[in-house]
Structures are given as C-alpha cells and as structure tokens.
Structure 1
Amino acid sequence: MSFRTPNPLSSRHLNKAKLPPPDETGQEAQYLKALGEKQTPVAIKLLDGEVVRGWIEYYDQRMIRLTRDGQPNLFIFKHDIMYVSEDTGRRR
C-alpha cells in the first residue's frame, strides 16, 4: 500500500481533468418541438427588451415562427432572442 500523494502532472491524472461543458446539448430542438406540438403559450424576450407572446408553430436552425392571436405572425431570428419561456399569463 502506497502512502505517497499522487503526482498531479502524471498522465493518469491529466486524462481525468474536467472537460468544459459542450456548446450544444441537443435539447433545444426537443424543447421547441414539445412547445409547438402542445401549442404551449410562450413569451419570447428579444435582445432589445421587447417581449412577444404566442405559440411556436415552426422552427428551424435559424428562426422561430411565432403565431399570435389577433396580431400578425412573426418570424424571429434566434440570434435576436434573449430567452423563450412558457407564458404563465402574468405580465410584468
């Protein structure tokens, strides 16, 4: 039995170093699909601070189509979105 402390520079310890988290988890498409299939009301906050509400009818790699009642539908580029959340009906 060895009582020596392990050498942190040994190759065995370098391989166990934590890797940074991935940039993409693959969960975005599944989440948007679930929201669209259920026609879940969502609030989308844009980078300029505007909040738009509706439900996601279509999405692809670059944009989301937001369908709204009584207002024109919107195609929103994903790079203009700060976040998407389920709309609970509460207004801030």
Structure 2
Amino acid sequence: MNSAKRRQKNPPPGETGQEALYLRFLSDKQIPIHVKLRDGEVVSGWIEYFDNRMIRLTREGKPNLFIYKNQIRTITESARRKTVRKTGEEEHA
C-alpha cells in the first residue's frame, strides 16, 4: 500500500464554533428545552443567557437555574409545543 493512503486523518477539531450559534438560536426564539445533567436529573425551561462556562435556564413557576456547561450531558428541544386554535383552546403538538 502507498504510505500516503495509510496516513491517518486528523481528528475533527474539538470546537467548531457551532455551540454558541445554536445556544443563541435557542435563546432568541425562547425554545423550550430539556437539559439532562451528568447525574441523570432532567430540568426544563428555556435559555435566557449563556456564556463560555454556563447557561441560565428560565423556568415558569420554579426558580431559574445557573448550570455550568461541564455539568450538562445533553440539551434537547422539547417535543411538545403549545399551539393555540382559533377557538382559543390549547393543543399539544
């Protein structure tokens, strides 16, 4: 085999710059999210603020949370969103 073909590719960069763009999108649109923490606990709300080390999760009827990013396992958008019909009834999509 050719030595050039055997050369391994470099791993992808650890930081792509997309995290901040995605968090900005979630924050600007106030998209409801679920945050799964490293200990398995799941908290829900929307991102009001974030920086390089933490996010502020705003929750209705509950205290807001400052969560360090190194404690976050995953962030997922909530599957259920409220829509309002012309009759004024709430429906979960």
Q: Which runs of 5+ in 2 are unaligned?
A: 81-93
Q: Which has the larger radius of gyration?
A: 1
Q: Which runs of 5+ in 1 are unaligned?
A: 1-6
SS at match of 2:23: helix
- After TM superposition, give the deviation of residue 8 of structure 1 in Å: 2.4
Percent identity between the two aligned chains? 57
Residue in 1 that maps onto 2:15 = 24
Q: Give the TM-score of the pair, scaled to structure 1.
A: 0.80
Match for residue 73 of structure 2 among 53, 61, 82: 82
Match for residue 61 of structure 1 among 52, 64, 67: 52
Distance in structure 2 (CA, Å) of the matches to 1:72 and 1:17 = 49
- After TM superposition, give the deviation of residue 76 of structure 1 in Å: 0.1
SS at match of 1:53: strand
Q: Give the TM-score of the pair, scaled to structure 2.
A: 0.79
| Cα root mean square deviation, aligned | 1.7
Q: Runs of 4 or more off by more than 4 Å in structure 1?
A: none
Distance in structure 1 (CA, Å) of the matches to 2:9 and 2:72 = 30
Name the count of aligned residue pairs.
Answer: 80
Partner deviation per Cα, 1:25-44 (whole Å, 9 max, x = no partner): 11000000000000000000
